Structure 1
Amino acid sequence: MRTLPRGELVTVGGRRIALYRAGAGDPAVVLLPGAGLVGLEYDNLLRGAAELTTAVTYDRAGTGWSDDIALPRTAAAVAEELHEVLAAAGIEGPYVLAGHSMGAVYARRFAQLHPHDVAGLLFIDPGHEDILRHLPPEVVALNERMKPTWDALPDLTPEQIEASRQALSQLYAQWPDDIRTPLVEHRLTHWRTGIAEGRNLEDEVYAELSAGGPLPDVPLIVLTAADKNPFWVQHMPPELLEAAHAGVLALHAAIAASVPRGEQRLIAGASHQYLHVQQPGPVLAALRDLLARVGTG
């Protein structure tokens, strides 16, 4: 077990789960990291949300400073783990769940399984099983051609590690010193975790969500990164890039329209993976609006 730089360990199902909490009040805001990311990478949102109510984030089993587990996992397993962690930590629902990328996928599964424990939802540039229906056929074909053979990816070279260390240190320059250094080193050591977590997303997890039923009738805000996908920028002509980006916007609009109190917001100056780092203000504003709509105690 790696030394936890901050937070606490909560034991559920025989495994220790790293939990980070701050603030006080109801309903609690629960931040669900994206694939390959961990709770400490959302420290800026944790501290901001803690000024409004109880704020919580965590490391899923198999990630961060939580105990290891075989990856990938079903969305139901991840959702039930979070439900048990919150109960064991004495954090009562209903919750405002804020999930980023694959974390939004897991938040949606939590809402399907425990609708009465959800007061509001914030999806930060979420994934969804209908994505291919909204993309031009040329983009779908390109994605298929460009998929790497994950098992054959070589280890990072010392030069790549150092370049990544500098980039991540700059990215998290505003993070407290006791968090930034272990966070950066963890990312450099465990960069394959995100690959492992997402391996079953497009088949098993998306099928699970599709069959899981609708979202509960709670306030929902979907945040969409307005900047173009960096991978697409490198491999698509401008007209196809615009069509692909329009498809993502349409998908997120459809997610917002799937519930009576849904809303989509475009976030300028942000790309998918680090929207919460590049533009924390609009994320916190969305949380503030959701808390106002559901009422705080």
Structure 2
Amino acid sequence: MTQAVAPPLGEHVRVGGRTLYTHRSGNGGPPVVFLPGASMVGLHYLNIHDRIAEHTTSVLYDRAGTGYSERIPLPRSAAEVADELRGLLWATDVRGPYVLVAHSLGGVYARRFAQRYPDQVAALVSLEGAHEDWDDYMPPELRVQHGAADAPMPELPAETVQRFRELITAKLAGWPEAVREPMIEAQLSLDWMRIGAAERSNLVAVFAELRRGGPIPDVPYLLFTANGIDPGQRLFLSEELLRVQGERKLAMYQALAAAAPRGEHRVLAEAGHSWLTMDQPEEVVQGILDVLNRI
């Protein structure tokens, strides 16, 4: 294990013998808690967090092993991640029930939290949250590999790194400079890229864990689908596969919303998966506020 890196904003908190990063703003309840996707960190959601903090308590954090939290071996079970989040919220005196806003891989951990602590969840907001039904909708080329960890990530060509730098710089243009610049450098580091790959390498196992975990509570459940193309995915997938993926994930999230007693589905027509909170922030903020008004 290595020590946590000093964050450009927020603080470190000791939870269960580990150092976790968190940033809290606003007052009141129910608190809104952001669960990042793999390769993302809490501060990637700062633009949404600041707007929500005008209405209620808002919390950003990094899971152990990621971002500005202490490094530990990855991947982990969804239950361990859920329990860690509960410990952090109690250690920082943020009392539930909570509105969990979860992006990509964070969606697995949010629903596992809801399974384990149903009375502590006021609502769920899925920002294209990862779901165990994915393989049922996707062609073989896009299905989750059976338990295989990602291959070791090689050094990226300088041209690719520069393209990522330009993309990330544009997406974080509205962030304070003191936050933006260290985040860009950290996200471009091979260390952070490998951490993201490691954290999502046990998707098959955590999907199975969710299936065994039972139902989630009957609370407002808003699911967003990003219908635009993620620029980074164009480096790995053909235009035809991107088209098929878009159509089938839309069908999946529509079905999930329809199956939930208090489900709702919204489309972000111009947003890509990784950057949806930056591509269409107004729509995401409004969705969270609408959920708060339904509680």
Same fold (TM over 0.5): yes
Match of 2:27 among 24, 27, 33: 24
Distance 1:266 1:191, change over 3 A: same
CA apart distance, 1:242: 4.5
Higher relative contact order (CA 8 A, sep 6+): 1
Counterpart residue number, 2:184: 184
Cα separation, partners in 2 of 1:246 and 1:163, compared to 1, 3 Å: closer
Shift of 1:161: 3.1
Q: C-alpha deviations, 1:92-127, integer Å up to 9, x for none? A: 000000000111111111001100000011000121
Q: Is the 8 A contact 1:105 1:127 kept in 2?
A: yes
| 1:60–1:134 distance in 2 versus 1, CA, 3 Å | same
1:177-216 aligned within 5 A:
177-189=177-189, 190-201=192-203, 203-216=204-217
Q: Which residue in 1 is equivalent to 2:249?
A: 248
* Number of the residue aligned with 1:154: 154
Query: Contact (CA 8 Å) 1:215, 1:259: kept in 2 or not?
Result: no
The number of aligned residues is 288
Return 5+ residue gaps in structure 1 as ranges.
Answer: none
Q: 1:6 aligns with which of 9, 32, 37?
A: 9
SS of the aligned residue for 2:277 comes to helix
CA apart distance, 1:205: 0.5
185-194 or 89-98, larger mean C-alpha shift: 185-194
Q: TM-score, normalised by structure 1?
A: 0.90
Equivalent residue number for residue 83 of structure 1: 86
**Structure 1 match to 2:135:** 132
Alignment of 1:38 with 2:41, yes or no, is yes
Alignment of 1:114 onto 2:110 = no
Do the aligned partners of residues 199 and 51 (structure 1) sit closer, same or farther apart at CA in structure 2, a change above 3 Å counting? same
Distance in 2 between residues matched to 1:143 and 1:130, nearest whole Å = 10
Distance 1:216 1:177, change over 3 A: same
Provide the rounded CA distance (Å) in 1 between the counterparts of 2:133 and 2:144. Answer: 16
TM-score (norm 2): 0.91
- Please provide the CA RMSD for this pair: 2.2
TM-aligned CA distance change 1:98 to 1:149, over 3 Å: closer
Deviation at 1:258, TM superposition (A): 3.0
